[in-house]
Structure 1
Amino acid sequence: MRLREDVTLDGCLLSGGSPHRVARLSQRAVAMFHCREVLVDSPASRALAERLIDLNLAYPLTGSLPEAPELTVVIPVRGRVRALDRLLRNLGAELPVIVVDDASDDPAALCEVTRRHGASIIHLPDNVGPAQARNIGLARVRTPVVAFIDSDVTARAGDLRDLARHFADPQLALIAPRVRGITSGGAPTWFQSYEEAVSSLDLADKPSTVRPWSALSWLPSACLLARVDDIGDGFDPALRVAEDVDLVWRTITAGKRARYEPTIQVTHDARAMLTSWLARKTYYGTGAAPLAQRHGDLVAPAVLTPAPTIAILALAVQRRWSFLLAIAALATIWLRTHRSLPTGTRRRRHASKLTALGVLSTAAQLSELAIRHAWPVTALACTISRPARRWVAMMTVVDAALTFQRHRPDLDPVRFALARRLDDAAYGLGVWTGAWRARTLRPLIPRWHMTGRSR
């Protein structure tokens, strides 16, 4: 186990992680560290490692894990003969592979490609969707681990085995690699360059424990490994979108762990046409409503605490009393955070840092809520309010600039900002469309965390 790069160990104090937190270690625990790593060779070191990993302060080192259990690959496919050929060629003949043909127009072509690569194939007479197609493949799996991979993904058998080594943790049920967007068949267009840098399936570069209401709350089924015994019958066949989020949340709710491991990467084809790219973003957004019906406020677009929200909104309304109200809210956050920290630490410094991070996190969530999930309401507000127009203009520019700086795409800032806004608008349209169909506003309502602590 190794501490995350954004975590500092200062004597007995750990500071950092996602979300940022401060934790005190015992002298015995500190003695287990060597160059920010802990060798798990005893019940005490295992307990320490599990605790720090759960808190997103550390991550397991693949090289220290035992050999991978046996695994089977399940690939749902409809058409996409060339993409399937590429995936099977990259996997080689090292792993058992089950291809589930979900009522393709040319099943003979899929059959020829599948048999040429030594995989087995199941033909379905009717289109049942990717969730049920994966479940049908899952029913044929006889290994302890299954790897679900979409046909437009490119992955290697060795990388899948390295991911499967994490199942040495008996509580781990799901793990996924980083999914990077790529353009196949020529130079990328401007929106494909954006997708290569900021794919909806790319969950960034930090290993993380996955849990609802956290910085990383789901895993994509484009490439997802699971312990067969922990996922029952698999995906909900009634869902044709967001079925991966549903599976992850059901598994975590059942007491199992899910992890994201970005040191291992696979690639996913970017959409070839602007219209199909936007349609896919909208389609993703429609999944919020069925998730809300199944999981309640786990699908909340933001998790807000009152004090930092009051501080930010007070500044946004730009009145004479705004500054004093914001100062009072910030002082409340600082005092509560200070009291919650372990005694004997640099409490003032850490309280100030945690207060700033809490306010910045709330500001980012409010910004995303305004310009992504609830943009129709925001657009309406801009037609009647000059301050709203100023704040929305600032949020869109800052969001595009920070995202551009973080990802450094092979694209100029103007077209990147345009793609960013189209991405948000399409996804938000999907959320509203799904909410209208389900007659619910739950996917649009933030969750309130009432402790008021930023810790």
Structure 2
Amino acid sequence: MTTPLPEGFVVRLNRNVRVRDGGRTLVGGAPTRVVTLSPTARRLLADRTIRVRDRMSAVLADRLLETGMADPVVAELPGLDASQVTFVVPVRDRPAALDRLLTSIGDRNRVIVVDDCSHDRAAVAEVAAAHRAELVALPVNVGPAAARNEGLRRVTTPFVAFTDSDIVLEPGTVSILLRHFNDSRVAMAAPLVLALPDDRVARRPEGWVGRYEEARSSLALGPDPGTVRPRAPVSWVPSACLVARVDALEDGFSADMRVGEDVDLVWRLVERGWRVRYEPGATVRHEHRTAVSDWLGRKAFYGTGAHLLAQRHGSDVAPAVLAPWSAGFALALLAQRRWSLPVAAVIFAAAAARISAKVEGSDHPVRFASSLTASGAAAAVWQTTGLLLRHWWPLAAVGCVFSRRMRRAVAAAAVLDTVGDYRRTRPRLDPVRFAIARRLDDAAYGYGVWYGAIKGRSPKALLPDIRWTTVGRSGRSASTRTSS
């Protein structure tokens, strides 16, 4: 994992990174930090891009990847041999979907189909045989995580692709993801998951739930590539489709987890020093649930995984991460008293003054600090909105019965959330039905979180993580030294 990036490897600052002070200062990453570049490092960064040519450029590119400030330019990386990938497909029934997936995979790779105790085993076996896939039939149902592990034990190639039976690979998906493995520290890469058109004839899924999922599926993680790790903009990737380095996986998924096993695997890889990449330039199509009862049940099921993850990964699963000042700022606004705005303004000013002392080397430290503080305040408001509408909605609902201020806060949060998401996702759905779907989505997921917390007798998955985070002044070096 310590091998330097190879010569010719190209990285580019992602669109959320701001370049200030004439190119001397970078602001961004996950978590947000300030990086001061030395004159040598500035010369290596041309048009927001670094091409590895020597040790110094390799160190700088690697550091920017590690901080989440830069992403590989996949189109400029060498392709790897796609025949070195074995596909592992866990399945339980759904032979038609399995046939559709195996057709999209083609016949160039070894495919291992793990039948997780289907009710109609003969139908699954017939499809696997038709596509010359190796079939592993399990005598009892063990869940998708353990089923994938059964397939993983039989993989002899350097790479494995885990693919669920309800997806379809787009041409070139695996080849694009493999390019990330030119970085020896990358253990796993995942594509963008889009909706599968109904019956593969209609171009888009029908029904209001289908159109909502098309725009706002839990599996679709956005248009921007990124490093995947706790508290990053992309903090997990779904197991619907994953390409991984076999040597990095060790024992694979946690076999005792039937939900959240993909998040758990990603976070364990990151803890061991590996990188995981999300690459929206590669896409797969997923058969989203569009029946209301199935859809809501799946959202609630996802929510129950929060407790299991909290038991294993602690505060990494917190529904909000706030600095004390930003928590105070949000609470002051939430109080809706006459003193709310003045108190919020004082908190903002104090935070800006504190941050300005950390960035005094900037050309305009006060302006710089004010910008950083404004971003933090906006993030705090947005996270508070999420708490009210998603994770804490049962408490908010009770509060609405007794408090006019709580009703106003929840109404404002719902409008802010709906308008923001509607503008961002641009769904093929009118605003009213989109707003209803958003609230049902949040209610079902929040119900699952509460169910898991109550059943597990632990509130960990419901508690925000409040900690001091400071913007430090980084050192001047070619590789950059950062503080967060």
Same fold, judged at TM 0.5 (above): yes
The one of 164, 175, 181 aligned to 2:195: 181
Q: CA deviation at 1:62?
A: 1.4
**What do residues 247-297 of structure 1 show as CA deviations (whole Å, max 9, x unaligned)?**
111111111111111111111111131100000000000001111111111
AA of the residue aligned to 1:167: F
Larger displacement relative to structure 2 (21-30 or 90-99) = 21-30
AA of the residue aligned to 1:102: D
Specify the SS of the correspondent of 1:226: strand
The one of 2, 15, 22 aligned to 2:12: 2
Matches within 5 A, 1:157-176: 158-176=172-190
The one of 112, 130, 135 aligned to 2:149: 135
AA of the residue aligned to 1:175: A
AA of the residue aligned to 1:389: R
Across the aligned residues of Structure 1 and Structure 2, the Cα RMSD in angstroms comes to: 1.6
Q: CA deviation at 1:18?
A: 5.0
Q: Please say if 1:316 is aligned against 2:326.
A: no
Q: Please say if 1:61 is aligned against 2:73.
A: yes
Residue matched to 1:432: 450
Specify whether residues 379 and 453 from structure 1 end up closer, same or farther in structure 2 by C-alpha distance, changes over 3 A only: farther
Q: CA deviation at 1:137?
A: 0.3
**What do residues 230-260 of structure 1 show as CA deviations (whole Å, max 9, x unaligned)?**
1111011110000001111111111111111
Q: CA deviation at 1:33?
A: 2.5
Residue matched to 1:15: 27
Q: Answer yes or no: is the 8 Å Cα contact 2:352–2:370 preserved in 1.
A: yes
Matches within 5 A, 1:201-280: 201-280=219-298
Distance 1:11 1:128 in 2: 54
Matches within 5 A, 1:13-162: 13-68=25-80, 70-156=84-170, 158-162=172-176
Q: Please say if 1:349 is aligned against 2:363.
A: no
Larger displacement relative to structure 2 (317-326 or 245-254) = 317-326
Distance 1:314 1:389 in 2: 16
AA of the residue aligned to 2:173: D
AA of the residue aligned to 2:158: P
Q: Please say if 1:382 is aligned against 2:405.
A: no
Q: CA deviation at 1:35?
A: 2.6
Distance 1:346 1:119 in 2: 63
Specify the SS of the correspondent of 1:287: helix
Specify whether residues 342 and 127 from structure 1 end up closer, same or farther in structure 2 by C-alpha distance, changes over 3 A only: farther
Q: Please say if 1:396 is aligned against 2:414.
A: yes
Specify whether residues 80 and 263 from structure 1 end up closer, same or farther in structure 2 by C-alpha distance, changes over 3 A only: same
AA of the residue aligned to 1:151: S
Q: CA deviation at 1:157?
A: 6.0
Q: Answer yes or no: is the 8 Å Cα contact 1:13–1:345 preserved in 2.
A: no
Q: Answer yes or no: is the 8 Å Cα contact 1:23–1:342 preserved in 2.
A: no
Q: CA deviation at 1:182?
A: 3.1
Specify the SS of the correspondent of 1:319: coil
Distance 1:392 1:320 in 2: 19
Scaled by the length of structure 2, the TM-score of the pair is: 0.91
Distance 2:297 2:291 in 1: 10
Q: Answer yes or no: is the 8 Å Cα contact 2:30–2:231 preserved in 1.
A: no
Q: CA deviation at 1:349?
A: 2.4
AA of the residue aligned to 2:108: E
Q: CA deviation at 1:108?
A: 1.8
AA of the residue aligned to 1:14: L
Aligned length, in residue pairs = 455
Distance 2:452 2:432 in 1: 30
Distance 2:123 2:450 in 1: 39
Scaled by the length of structure 1, the TM-score of the pair is: 0.96
Distance 2:232 2:340 in 1: 30
Q: Structure 1, unaligned stretches of length 5 or more? A: none
Specify whether residues 312 and 452 from structure 1 end up closer, same or farther in structure 2 by C-alpha distance, changes over 3 A only: farther
Residue matched to 2:391: 373
Specify whether residues 452 and 168 from structure 1 end up closer, same or farther in structure 2 by C-alpha distance, changes over 3 A only: closer
Q: Answer yes or no: is the 8 Å Cα contact 2:190–2:278 preserved in 1.
A: yes
Specify the SS of the correspondent of 2:175: helix
Distance 2:302 2:57 in 1: 41
**What do residues 170-199 of structure 1 show as CA deviations (whole Å, max 9, x unaligned)?**
111121111113342365110110000000
Residue matched to 1:198: 216
Q: Answer yes or no: is the 8 Å Cα contact 2:193–2:220 preserved in 1.
A: yes
AA of the residue aligned to 2:57: S
Distance 1:344 1:220 in 2: 40
Q: Structure 2, unaligned stretches of length 5 or more? A: 1-10, 473-483
Runs of 4+ displaced beyond 6 Å:
none
**What do residues 379-414 of structure 1 show as CA deviations (whole Å, max 9, x unaligned)?**
011111100000100101110111000000000000
Q: CA deviation at 1:111?
A: 1.7
Higher RCO, Cα 8 Å, sep 6+: 2
Distance 1:324 1:289 in 2: 38
Distance 1:162 1:95 in 2: 16
AA of the residue aligned to 2:217: S
AA of the residue aligned to 1:97: V
AA of the residue aligned to 1:447: D
Specify the SS of the correspondent of 1:361: helix
AA of the residue aligned to 1:306: P
AA of the residue aligned to 2:106: G
The one of 468, 472, 479 aligned to 1:450: 468
Larger displacement relative to structure 2 (279-288 or 296-305) = 296-305
Q: Answer yes or no: is the 8 Å Cα contact 1:132–1:235 preserved in 2.
A: yes
